[in-house]
Amino acid sequence: MSLFNVFNVTGSAMSAESIRLNTTASNMANANTVSSSAAQTYKARHPVFEAALQSASYQREESVPVRVKAIVESQKPLTAEYNPAHPLANAEGYIYKPNVNVMEEMANMISASRSYQSNVQVADASKQMLMRTLQMGK
């Protein structure tokens, strides 16, 4: 694996983790929203990663970039709360809250942030190795 390929892999990983951070931020921002129907209620979203095999060469390539295959909505049930005094309550007096678990989202945010930082460190170490290699020729 060439050192130049490291930048491709770490770049794709940083891009994927950035999308993961954005979806986590969106989930946390909508954690306290309410709606009068289950169909209109915000549902937590999560990215699905996959190896970008179609862009990798099949000549014993050891590194494969990552990409976001899709962003899927959580299938966890929504929270229905009886609150007839709420202005968004439906005819039965219920409001619906999102299926966002703030503690899970915080853990996802920390994990994505650490993964991003790790990829930055790998890219920096690769850059330093390339610079030292170039200095050897002087």
pLDDT tens readout for residues 50-100: 987 755 555 556 778 898 999 999 999 999 999 999 999 999 999 999 999
Lowest mean pLDDT among 73-77, 80-84, 105-109, 133-137: 133-137
Q: Is the dihedral of CA 94, 97, 101, 102 positive or negative?
A: negative
Q: What is the pLDDT of residue 58?
A: 55
Most distant CA pair in the chain, distance? 80
What's this model's pTM, rounded to 2 decimal places? 0.83
Which DSSP symbol is given to 10? H
Residue 114 sits at the vertex; the CA angle it makes with 110 and 116, to the nearest 5 degrees, is 120
Q: Is the dihedral of CA 71, 76, 79, 80 positive or negative?
A: positive
List, in order, residues 6 or more apart from 56 with CB less than 8 Å away. Answer: 63, 64, 65
Q: Determine the straight-line distance between the first and last CA of the chain, rounded to whole angstroms.
A: 25
